[in-house]
Every structure is written in structure tokens, then in C-alpha cells.
Structure 1
Amino acid sequence: MSTDTTTFPEPPGQDGPGTPGDGPPGDGTPGDGTPGDGTGTSGEGPPLDPPPDKAVVTLGVLVVAGVVLWAALGKGSFDSFTDGALNWVLGNFSWLFMIAANVFLVLCLMLALGRFGRLRLGKDDEEPEFDNLAWIAMMFSAGMGIGLMFYGVGEPLQHYADPPPFGDVAPRSGAAAQTGLEYALFHWTLHPWAIYGMGGLALAYATFRKGRGNRVSSVFVSLIGQRRADGWQGKVIDLLAVFATVFGTATSLGLGALQVAEGLHLSLGVPHTTTVELLVIVVLGAAFVLSAFSGLHKGVKWLSSINIVLAALLMVFVFVAGPTVFLLDSIPATVGPYLQELLVTSSRTGAFGHSDWLGTWTIFYWAWWLSWAPFVGTFLARISRGRTVREFLLGVLLVPSGASAVWFCVMGGTAIRLDSTGRAGLAGEADNAEKSLFATLEALPFQSVTSVLAILLVMMYFITSADSASLVMGSLTSRGALHPRTWLVVTWGVLMSAVAAVLLLAGGLESLKSGTILVALPFVLVMLALCWALLKELREDPGAGPPRHHPLYGLRDAVRAMVGEALHGGGSTRLRP
């Protein structure tokens, strides 16, 4: 997933409601972005955002650099530690990931449909910063990226060739095809976007309604107080968010490097080796560094927009050139059973076996989404100023989920149909996820053009992912600055690329997954506490109105009133209209 986060509106001042910084833009109060306020701009000069937090930057860089050096120089001990730690996490905390993901989804629905849905992410009379079309388009861009390019064909095809071990489903059968698409939707639609939705809602509420800094620790003021949120406790929270983002993004960059290397091998005959994978990371990392130093953030924004159009064109081409009628049938035939089985699939743990499969798929995905929550949540918050809670949550849940469902049914469904009808032996290559997309395109017309298009898409997503995630981490380590220093952004981008490289060297895709799960374990606790802090503030917000009592409570109060009147009035009572 990738998008550019550098060109969105600035939040109000960071002093809280009713304090300097809440005035309208241009009113000359501190924090409004006018000259002399110390936080906005001075004439045409660059923004004067808070400087980097030296303690957070130093600790974050040292820890990440230490992991890079350990993985590069002590491969044996690093592998031994990560394998043991991963088995311990999967053996003891799979239930935590499953329950947490369900909690986020339930909370999203409750907040969207309840009395808090009327609250605005901003002042009560504030209008949305973007119209509906622009908002939906940007949200859609956050849902398309390296992950969907890598797993759009790979995951349904792998489940089709080797079905999940729940039930008696024969490989490469009709039931296996349906199961493969259902599990792809389960892993990529409602649950991940509920995680992002809760993270984004908490950040948007704290930033735009409460007027605090744009950082994760600002959400926790209701639990630990402003002083602790600005103290070492807040720094720990922000550091955990940084570590989660580093490893979550490194996983995406590693997947991108694997897929680009495989695409170069199939399309141009370049040997797919570890050296080529590392070279891809170096070259694309250098492209990101150049864009950051040259200040071409508008260029990156254009890249993100171009990516959306190219991905849509690729999907439409596959839909038209592939088994169109089958794809039209597969969308409702997949969405319905997915929703019907949602309670069962979302409550499976390793209690009765199959913990290895869950760790490879569902737990890995939940950990990956949690590690992306600070990044995607920050992006969603930044584009949603002026929206109501209901608009925000329903939009975040339904729009990207719908786009992802169509993507998997078209791309994955085409691969499954090509294999089942004998037009391409794709199931035999199912274990090679990075190859699946190119093998599918090879079975369709204009393979040379579409394969090159796919390679370019992944490469551009790599650059925009590194750029956007680095900016978010620069903001988290700069007291919520919306325009962090360029050197800090570049530093985080280089470190992310280095983490992706050493994890690929240490063990390829499995090491990427292991690192993501391990770093997401402490952050799942942060996300649950974040939901608690958000609910606490929502309950105290006068804009939500009084709680809605159940009708039985009103009946109970009426009976009590009548009984009291009878006892104290000294006579009979009668019901009044």
C-alpha cells in the first residue's frame, strides 16, 4: 500500500480546544500558519515545524541499525533467535491477534452506527476538506500497492492448489477455488481496514477535534495525561509505532524486490538471484533518496495517481481478455460465502491444530496490518478532516474493501480459471507467489506489454511506499511535525531499505514474515489501548449528545414515577397523556 502524505491540509494548533491555535486560518493567532507564529510558514519560506525529538530519533535509529547489523553479521544467531521467538509468539499469542482484529471490526461498526457517528473530525460546523470523489479516490490509492500486486494472484492460487486445512476440500477442485478466493477476501478486506480505520479515527480525532500533535502518543492524553504523553511514556509509544512501521514497510519493500526480480527474469531473462534482489532495493532506494532531496513530493503524488490508473487498466485488461463471464459469476459467489462464514473464519486459533498454517497466513496478515496501522492511519486521518465519524468509518471499511474484493476476484479468479480449464499450468507454480502474476499475464494476449507494466507498477509502488512511510516516521520522531526535516526522512528510508535487504539475506520471504509478527506483538497492545483512549474521549464529547437509553429503561422510569406519586400523593393516580 502506498500513497503520498506530503500535500494534505495542516491540522489546527496543537494546544487543545479553546487555546491558541484553534483560530481560523489566517487569523493571526499562534498556530494558524501565519508569519510569526512559530509553527506555520513565514512568507514563501519552508514550514517551521517542530524539530526532531533527539531522544526518539537516537533510540529509534540505534535499535533499527542494531537489528540490521545483527542480521547482516550474525546470521546464525539472528535466525536462531527469530525462529525461537516466532514459535513462542505463535504458540502463546495467536489468540491475541485474532481477538484484537475482531475487536477493531466490531468497534468500527458500533461507532459508525451509534451516537458517536454524528461527531465531526474537526469543529462542529466544519466542512470536509475534500469532496466525496477526491476523498474516495485517495482512499482507494491507499488500498492498492505492492501487497495487492504480490498476493492478488498468488494467494488465491496457493489456496486453490493447497487448500486451508479446515474441512475436506480437494486441491484444484471447484470448492478449492471458492475457498481460495474467500480466504483472500477474509485476509484483505474488512479486518485490515477496520484496523486502519480505528487507528486513523483516533489520530484524526486527536489532531483535528482536540487540536493535538499528529503522533500516536497524542491519542493517549485521556489515559496518561498531557505531561506523560509529552514525556518518556509518550516517547515509548511513538517508538513502538516507528518500529512497527519500519518492519511492516520493510516487508512490503522486500516483497516488491522479490517480484521485480522475478519479473525481470521472466520478461528480460535477467537471472533471479539474491544479488539482483539487493540491486533492486539499492536502485529503487536511491530513486527515493533523490526524490526526497530534490523535494519532488508533487512528483511522487503524481506517481501515486498514475499507479491507480495503471493498476485499474491492468485489472480491466485481465477482466476483458480473461474469463469474463466466470469472473462476473465469481464476485457474488465469493462475497456471499465470505460474509456468511466470517464468524467462523475470524475465530479460528491453533487450539485444535493447524497453528503453522495460521502463522503463515492469518496471523502474519493481522500482524502486517497492525504494523501498517500508524502509516495508513496517519494518511487516512490527514485526508478526512471535517468528515463525521460515521462517514469516515463506513467509507474506510466499504470503499477499499470493495476495491480489494474486485481485484482478488478478477486477478486470482483468472489464474484459477486458466489452470482449471487447462490453458495454463499455474497451480504447479503456486508456491512461487512472486511468479504467479507474470505467469498469469503470460497466458493472456500482449504478455510482453502487460508484464513490463506490472514491473513498473511494483517499482513505482516501492518508491512511493518508501517516501510516504519515511515521512510518517519522520513526523512520529519530530513531535508530530507535518513537514519533518529532509535528512530525517532520508535516514528512515535508508534504514527501511536496509531492513528489507538484510531480512531477504537472512531467509527471504519467511524472514520478512517473522520480523513483522515479532514487532507487531507489542504494538497490538498499543492499538488496543488506543481504542480505549479514543472511547473514553468520545464518551465525554458533548457533541455526541446524551446516551440513548433502551425503551425498557424509559418504562422503568415511568413506573417508578407513578409508584412514587402514589406513595407520596396520598391517593390514587391515573396515567396522564
Structure 2
Amino acid sequence: MATGIEHPRDLPTPDEIHPALDAALQPAAPGERGLDKLVFGVTALASLAFLGWGFVSTGTLADASASGLAWTMDKAGWLFVLTSSTFVVFVIWLALGKFGNIPLGRDDEEPEFRTISWVAMMFSAGMGIGLMFYGVSEPITHFVTPPPGTGAAGNPEAAQNAMATTMFHWTLHPWAIYAVVGLAVAYGVYRKGRLQLISAAFEPVLGRHAHGLGGRAIDMFAIFATLFGSATSLGLGALQIESGLQIVAGLGHTGNAVLVGIIAVLTAAFVLSAVSGVAKGIQWLSNINMVLALALALFVFVVGPTVFILNLVPTSIGSYVGDLPMMAARTAAEGSETRDWLSTWTVFYWAWWLSWTPFVGMFIARISRGRTIRQFVTGVLLVPSMVSVAWFCIFGGAAIDLQKHGTDIAGAGGLENQLFSTLEAYPLATVSSVVVMVLVGIFFISGADAASIVMGSLSERGTIHPSRPTVIFWGVATGAVAAVMLLVGGEDALSGLQTITVIAALPFVLIMVGLAVALVKDLAQDPLVLRRQYALDVVEAAVITGVTEHGDDFVLSVESAHVEKDPVV
């Protein structure tokens, strides 16, 4: 993420400029660059230890993960539920309140990207592999097996409840979580001249300790969150590619060895792209991916149940809005059935989104320079949410329609098989299935590329161009962690991904809460806010004085309040 500002001491000293005035940023000091041996060393060794444990003794890691998940759900499941909904309210409050007009840059700075380009890039920040994997599987699963408290299977409102639950997981909540990190990073870098580090955003509450051991610990947790969150996405991609090969190539049942092989091949492709430096090639492939995804969605929309999908959009949105309080308040206190369901769905999603925040947050911060907080929050919440609504209504609607008319999509095997089973019901099934595998493969490579650059940046003091060896290390580590997480799940590989993701994300929940507190403290001292307060106080006092002394006939003027003192004899 190119920011052009890399050093937390770029700020002028308090003696140089009044806090109510906008500060000009100075060039970054080169002395603080390079690999942070403590951050990289600790995270690299911990990651290698996890990999060694997973490959040498998969069974004990699986047992420990199961115990960790049970403890997390029992003791801290409420924390995921409460904080995620709080972040939605928090960012909306920032946008609508007195902080909404604060720019993410200088006072007179124009947005770096035009609105159309900004919206297009916001779309590209979507959860590519996740949308491919869950586009059919989540709506159809909730349709056949309704979430707790929404009625029995086959009830008349099953379809709209299924879509409402899916939208709950994929619209406002994840993007509000990303917005917190994006705002904190963008404000710190573009408004305050800080480093591109999660820890740098904690300066308002930690002071100089944000650049000491405390700040480094925060960056370490950010690396771990990114590593496991990205590995989850790559694991889902491997599951879906394996399923596609079984159908298209007629491989039949395959085991975890094939999954690990798929991850190895795609990781090797990523390493080759990183070594060759074909950044433009990856960008070109990513653009092709967006076109292919749009074409696939339009294809299903046209050949599928078009009218049913169109009817599903407003119905789903209405159900989502109506059921939002109930869904946001659902916790394990409702019983063991709800607790198990939450660990598989809601809490897993909140943990996954929290794991992705360093990557997605930094990306949306990078493209939002010059936007106001109000513009930022509006774009970040609404644009990706609308894309998700359209995507799930098309693919989920098609699957639900097929299920209603006798095609058993829900019973087509694992969740990774259900998209392919849906496509088999329409023309050009083989072609569309191949397109899905190509989409997932490119999402895998580009996702590993982007996530490893973020981890490299966090490892090298926030540099915008981390060294190639560091990037490659984290890319390979992400692929290897994905393989271990799949192996931990055994026959149910998906459970391994979900279990470890929830556990790994728990520490980052507390970091996110601290980040929100630091952001508010930062914004409260923003020059724009201080000027507004000065203006209100001074003008109010001046008007009172003017009316008292001169009635309606007075003017306001600005003069120095400095009074020269008599010299001391």
C-alpha cells in the first residue's frame, strides 16, 4: 500500500504550529527502515512452530484446537458478537457526527482517486474466495436447516430468513470492522504522518510506547491475524478447486493429499509471481477475474430463475432489516444448539473478518486519501454490501429455486460441491465450472500476494515496499498454514479452518477495541474539531460582549491577544 509517508516523527513539534492549524508533512526519516528483527523473528518462529506441530502431530493439534474452540465459545463468544455489532454503530456514529467532515489528508487535499475508480477498487477488495465458496452454500444451508429461532425446515419464510441470515454475515458487519482499521490507518498516515502500522494508530493512548515493546506486540498480533485469516481463505479455495476437479475431471473421491497438492501448486505460482516481479501481470489477472465473476453472475441470472431472483432482492433486504436486532443479539446463552451454530457460522465469520482487517483495512485506507470520514464510511459500508446482496441473491436464489423444484443442492456433498451442483443444472456446466476454478485460483494467488505484502510491511516497520524474501516467506507460510488447518480438520477439513480461525482472532478483538478508542481520542484533537470549538467559544463570547456594550450595532475583528509586560527591575 503506497502511502508516501513512513515515519511517525514526521509531525512538526508543538512549538512549530498551533494544534488548530493543519500541519505540513515532512519527508520520512530513513534511519528507521529495514526489518524489525523482533517482530519478524517472534512471528516467524511462532509460525514455524505451529507448522511443525501440525505436520508432526496433527492429532494433538486437532485436540488442542477443539479444546481451544470450546473455551473460546464458552468464555468469549459474546465478545465477538457484541464488538462486531458495536463497530457498525461506531462507524455510523463517526460518519453522522461532528467528525464526519474531517478529511483523511490535508484540509485542502482533493481525493486521490475519482469516485468511480474508488468505487471500482472498493469492489475489488471484496472477499473473493469467500463469495465463491459461500455464494450458494450458505443460503441453501440456512434454507434447508434454518438457524435457531427461525422456524422448522420447510416453513413458508425459510427462503427469506436464509437470505437475511446470509446478508447479516456479509454486508454491514464485516465492512464496519474493516472501516475501523481503514479509518485509523488512513487518518494516522495521511492526516498525522505516521507509519503504516497498526501499532502507530495507538499513539493517542500509548504515546511513545506505541513504538516500543507494546506497539511491536500489537503488530505481531496483526501478523498472526492476517496469516490465519488469509490461510482460511486459501483453504476454502483449495476445497473448492478439489471439488471442481472431482466433477470436471472425474477424479472421484480424493483425500487431504490432493488438497495439500493444490495448495502447493498455487503457492508455487504465487512465489514465481513474486520472484519475477510481475505485479502488473497479477493486476491484469485480477481485472480479468472481476470480469469473469461478473460474467458468471450475469450468466446464472439470465439462465436461472430471473424473476425469482428479482423478487428475492427486496424481500431479503426487508427481512434482513427486520431481523437485524434478533440476529445481532443471538449468543450461546440460548443453549447448546445455538452455541454450536454460532461457532460454525456467526462467530466464525466475525473472527474471519477480524483476521482480515489488517489486509483489507490497509487496502481501503490506501485508496481513500482525501476522502472525508463521512464519504469513507458511506462508500465502505454501502458499495461492498450492495455487491454482496446481488451476488447472494443470484447464486443463493438459483440454488433455493432448484431445491424447491426437486434438485437436491443441499445434499450434493460438502459445502464446496454445492456451487458446481447448481451450475450442472444449467447449460454450459463444464465451461462455467472451469471458470469457477480459474476464478478461485487467481483469487488464491492474488490474495496470497496482497496478504504477504501486508505481513511484510508489518515486519519491516511499515515500509511500502517490503523486501522480496520477507514477502515470499509470508506467502509460503500462508500456504503451509492453510494446509495444516485443513489437515487438522481430518475428514471434515472445513472444521479445521473454522476452529483455528476463531481461536487466532480472539486477541485481535481486544486490539480492535483499543484501536477504536485511540481513533476517537485522535479525532477529538483534530485541527478541524479544535477550530470549530474555538470558533464557537470565541464568537459566542464576542457576541455577548458586543450586544452588552453596543446593542445590535457592532462588528467582530481579529487582533492579537498578546500583552507586553513591563520589564522586571
TM-score between the two structures when normalised by the length of structure 2: 0.89
Name the structure 2 match of 1:89.
72
Structure 1: distance between partners of 2:136 and 2:122: 22
Describe the superposition over 1:531-552 as per-residue Cα deviations: whole angstroms up to 9, x where unpaired: 000000101112135779xxxx
Structure 1: distance between partners of 2:313 and 2:440: 25
Q: Give the partner amino acid of 2:249.
A: L
Shift in Å, 1:17: 3.0
Structure 1: distance between partners of 2:127 and 2:225: 20
Name the structure 1 match of 2:405.
421
Name the structure 2 match of 1:246.
227
Shift in Å, 1:38: 4.1
Q: Give the partner amino acid of 2:525.
A: E
Q: Give the partner amino acid of 1:522.
A: P
Name the structure 2 match of 1:513.
498
Cα pair distance change 1:77/1:13, threshold 3 Å:
closer
Name the structure 2 match of 1:131.
114
Q: Give the partner amino acid of 2:147.
A: P
Shift in Å, 1:575: 13
Structure 2: distance between partners of 1:69 and 1:144: 29
1:161 to 140, 144, 154: 144
Name the structure 2 match of 1:533.
518
Q: Give the partner amino acid of 1:347.
A: A
Structure 2: distance between partners of 1:266 and 1:83: 32
Name the structure 2 match of 1:391.
375
Name the structure 2 match of 1:443.
425
- For residues 187-266 of structure 1, what are the structure 2 equivalents within 5 Å? 187-225=169-207, 227-266=208-247
Q: Is the 8 A contact 1:146 1:462 kept in 2?
A: yes
Structure 2: distance between partners of 1:470 and 1:161: 38
Name the structure 1 match of 2:396.
412
Structure 2: distance between partners of 1:238 and 1:134: 30
Name the structure 2 match of 1:175.
157
Q: Is the 8 A contact 2:243 2:416 kept in 1?
A: yes
Name the structure 1 match of 2:250.
269
Could you tell me the percent identity over the aligned residues? 48
Q: Which secondary structure does the structure 1 equivalent of 2:157 belong to?
A: helix
Q: Is the 8 A contact 1:220 1:533 kept in 2?
A: yes
Name the structure 1 match of 2:27.
30
Q: Which secondary structure does the structure 2 equivalent of 1:427 belong to?
A: coil
Structure 1: distance between partners of 2:278 and 2:48: 27
Structure 2: distance between partners of 1:428 and 1:283: 30
Shift in Å, 1:16: 3.5
Q: Give the partner amino acid of 2:139.
A: P
Residue 291 (structure 2) pairs with residue 306 (structure 1): no
Q: Give the partner amino acid of 1:502.
A: V
Structure 1: distance between partners of 2:129 and 2:122: 16
Q: Give the partner amino acid of 2:62.
A: D
Q: Is the 8 A contact 2:164 2:323 kept in 1?
A: no
TM-score between the two structures when normalised by the length of structure 1: 0.88
Q: Give the partner amino acid of 1:259.
A: Q
Name the structure 2 match of 1:554.
none
Unpaired segments of 5 or more residues in structure 2?
17-22, 534-539, 554-569
Name the structure 1 match of 2:558.
none
Structure 2: distance between partners of 1:334 and 1:138: 26
Shift in Å, 1:78: 1.1
Residue 302 (structure 2) pairs with residue 317 (structure 1): no
Q: Is the 8 A contact 1:118 1:544 kept in 2?
A: no
Q: Which secondary structure does the structure 2 equivalent of 1:330 belong to?
A: helix
Q: Which secondary structure does the structure 2 equivalent of 1:405 belong to?
A: helix
Shift in Å, 1:55: 0.9
Name the structure 1 match of 2:308.
326
Structure 2: distance between partners of 1:398 and 1:263: 32
Residue 144 (structure 2) pairs with residue 150 (structure 1): no
Q: Is the 8 A contact 1:12 1:208 kept in 2?
A: no
Structure 2: distance between partners of 1:69 and 1:248: 19
Structure 2: distance between partners of 1:369 and 1:310: 25
Unpaired segments of 5 or more residues in structure 1?
32-36, 40-48, 549-556, 566-573
Q: Is the 8 A contact 1:115 1:547 kept in 2?
A: no
Structure 1: distance between partners of 2:149 and 2:531: 46
2:93 to 110, 123, 134: 110
Q: Which secondary structure does the structure 2 equivalent of 1:341 belong to?
A: helix
Q: Is the 8 A contact 1:14 1:211 kept in 2?
A: yes
1:357 to 330, 335, 341: 341
Name the structure 2 match of 1:371.
355
Shift in Å, 1:75: 1.8
- For residues 267-306 of structure 1, what are the structure 2 equivalents within 5 Å? 267-271=248-252, 272-306=254-288
Structure 2: distance between partners of 1:9 and 1:449: 41
Shift in Å, 1:12: 6.7
Q: Which secondary structure does the structure 2 equivalent of 1:241 belong to?
A: helix
Shift in Å, 1:135: 0.6
Residue 58 (structure 2) pairs with residue 64 (structure 1): no
Describe the superposition over 1:86-108 as per-residue Cα deviations: whole angstroms up to 9, x where unpaired: 10110011111111001110011
Q: Which secondary structure does the structure 1 equivalent of 2:149 belong to?
A: coil
Structure 1: distance between partners of 2:297 and 2:5: 36
Describe the superposition over 1:156-188 as per-residue Cα deviations: whole angstroms up to 9, x where unpaired: 011111111213x23244421111111110000
1:18 to 12, 25, 37: 12
Q: Is the 8 A contact 2:209 2:215 kept in 1?
A: yes
Alignment length (residue pairs): 531
Structure 2: distance between partners of 1:264 and 1:489: 30
Structure 2: distance between partners of 1:481 and 1:11: 9
Q: Give the partner amino acid of 2:186.
A: A
Shift in Å, 1:349: 0.6
Q: Is the 8 A contact 1:30 1:38 kept in 2?
A: no
Residue 451 (structure 2) pairs with residue 469 (structure 1): yes
Structure 2: distance between partners of 1:65 and 1:161: 41
Describe the superposition over 1:492-539 as per-residue Cα deviations: whole angstroms up to 9, x where unpaired: 011111100011111111111111100111100000000000000101
Structure 1: distance between partners of 2:334 and 2:165: 19
Name the structure 2 match of 1:141.
124
Structure 2: distance between partners of 1:295 and 1:207: 26
1:78 to 56, 61, 80: 61
Shift in Å, 1:71: 1.3
Name the structure 2 match of 1:43.
none
Q: Give the partner amino acid of 1:138.
A: M
Residue 326 (structure 2) pairs with residue 344 (structure 1): yes
Shift in Å, 1:60: 0.5
Describe the superposition over 1:452-479 as per-residue Cα deviations: whole angstroms up to 9, x where unpaired: 0011000000000000000000000110
Shift in Å, 1:270: 2.4
Structure 2: distance between partners of 1:127 and 1:489: 32
Structure 2: distance between partners of 1:217 and 1:379: 17
Name the structure 1 match of 2:566.
none
Cα pair distance change 1:333/1:222, threshold 3 Å:
same
Residue 439 (structure 2) pairs with residue 457 (structure 1): yes
Q: Give the partner amino acid of 1:83.
A: A
